[in-house]
A and B are shown apart, each in its own frame.
Chain A
Amino acid sequence: MLDPYKIREDFPILKRKINNNPLIYFDNAATSQKPRQVIEAIKNFYENHNANVHRAVHTLSQEATELYEEAHEEVAKFINARGMEETIFVRGTTEAINLVAYSWGCRNLTKEDEVIVSLMEHHSNLVPWEILSKLRGFDVVYVNVKKDGTLDYEDFENKISKNTKIVCISHVSNVSGVVNDVKKIAKVAHEHNALTLVDGAQSVPHLPVNVKDLEVDFLAFSGHKMLGPTGIGVLYGKREILETMEPFQGGGEMIRDVSFNSAEGHCSITWNVLPWKFEAGTPNVCGGVGLMEAIKYLRGIGMENVKAHEEMLTKYAMQKMAECRKVEIYGPKQASKKCGIIPFGVDGLSSHDVALFLDNYGIMVRSGFHCAQPLHELLKLKSSARVSFYIYNTREEIDRFVEVLKEIEQI
């Protein structure tokens, strides 16, 4: 097991007081806090190694390039990809999904095709496909979610067909914390010659994720939810698929040659090798360096330990919250089906009231739809409050949270 008290010493922000109370940060599904090691790595990069990467011969550029490439390798190792050619750096999960939608979807989806998504998706794994469907004429098919917030696998198997070209599904719901069996989904998708795109924004920071074992075709995740800085994220793609895809954006870095053919009056262009083919323009070099340090930090703890710690916290929190008379936990009641996220409501109060009340006591939780409005509609929720845990959270923080929840019940 990991030691959250020791870990907390690495996170300067956790020493803060909010409204004269010690900060309790339970909004990790939105973004995580950053350890000193990541902050120092970013500072060190700008103080000692900052330069643009690739195609320069000077020392600083070479240092920056080495760091940036090392970051890709570190990410590849973390998710067990075959190498850095399968790890494209993007701004975050949203951009990663949009990359697949526009680069792969624009060229491979036509009128007769179907894209499967689920009703538990974050808007970022749903809106790009709806936008593209208007351009390309394909259907977006929605897989149902059961009343307890878990995915309806039977509905998925009924809806997948020979017309399905890609199945886009979250690994872990950002609202309910439900963990989907993406290995099973990928297997069924492949039996129908469809690809799988997994939104790993809520899984990669919290569970061991092995793309070879899961056999997914694409995996998207964000650095800032896993101790890294904002503005950096990753699209993993199987090399064979990425090689067949056209670039997402054009510009510097993503090309090998741009040569003007005077006879034809236009430029002939050849693309750079993977992953640079998909990284147009000056990349977020420092973000990559920060993400690498974050991954090293998580590897040092061990992802199995991260998972076990969050399971323990989730189980404990659900037990304690059950003591509250007016609190209802949404989604599955078994902690084993979840991953560090608990949505809830307090009878008679809006989720925003609950969040403001908790804020008064230095407890940070999120309220609203959490960018998953269809799921709230399906579960007939006006909105929800959400607590989400990470490596630095403790049982004592949960005790304090439940103590304040009991005060809220008095309103």
Chain B
Amino acid sequence: MVALEDYVARIEETCGEEKDFIVILKYDKKEEAINKILKKAKVERSISAIIFELKFKDVSFRLYGTGKAIFRNLKDKSVLQSVLTDLLL
């Protein structure tokens, strides 16, 4: 059974008034996870094909080719986990 933990190494809640979430994908699953995300989310903009501005179910986020993503304006971590579940599983 595939779980979120298979793809996500760590979720960091940033310090700062913005309270963004940084999602760090597992290094060895990075490519697979990025492909899954790009298939499901709408690409609003791509910069040099290494940075993607994406939208999924009204949630805007930015995905980096390095396997990191930044999610903004989410109510809490449970919302993020739900979005990630839909994107990755």
Contacts and interface: CB of A to CB of B under 8 A. Distances in A.
State the majority secondary structure of interface residues on B: loop
B16 A19 contact: no
Contacts of A350: 14, 16, 18, 20, 70, 72
A368 B68 CA distance: 17
B64 A369 contact: no
Nearest to A353: B70
Interface string A364-383: 00011100010010000011
Contacts of A376: 16-17
Given A350-B72, A410-B47, A383 B66 contact: no
A99 B51 CA distance: 46
Interface in B28-74: 47, 50-51, 62, 64-66, 68, 70, 72
Given A352-B70, A360-B51, A411-B47, A367 B64 contact: no
Interface of B: 14-18, 20, 22, 47, 50-51, 62, 64-66, 68, 70, 72
Contact of B70 (A19, A356, A368): A356
A344 to B, nearest CB: 14
Contacts of B70: 350, 352-353, 356
Nearest to A377: B17
A33 interface: no
Contacts of B72: 350
A290 B70 CA distance: 37
Give the residue among A352, A376, A410 with the most B Cβ atoms within 10 A.
A352
A359 interface: yes
A360 B15 CA distance: 20
B20 to A, nearest CB: 5
Interface of A: 19, 350-353, 356-357, 359-360, 367-369, 373, 376, 382-383, 410-411
Contacts of B64: 356-357, 359-360
23 contacts: A350-B14, A350-B16, A350-B20, A351-B18, A352-B20, A352-B70, A353-B62, A356-B22, A356-B62, A356-B66, A356-B70, A357-B51, A359-B64, A360-B50, A360-B51, A360-B64, A367-B14, A368-B14, A368-B15, A368-B16, A369-B15, A382-B16, A383-B17
Q: Which of B15, B50, B64, B70 has most A Cβ within 10 Å? A: B15
Contacts of B22: 352, 356
Contacts of B65: 19, 360
A96 B68 CA distance: 36
A373 B14 CA distance: 13
B31 to A, nearest CB: 14
Contacts of B51: 357, 360, 411
Contacts of A411: 47, 51
B71 to A, nearest CB: 10
Nearest to B16: A383
Contacts of A353: 62, 70
B18 A352 contact: yes
A383 B15 contact: yes
Top 10 closest A-B pairs, CB basis? A383-B16, A382-B17, A368-B15, A368-B16, A369-B15, A350-B18, A352-B14, A352-B20, A19-B66, A360-B66
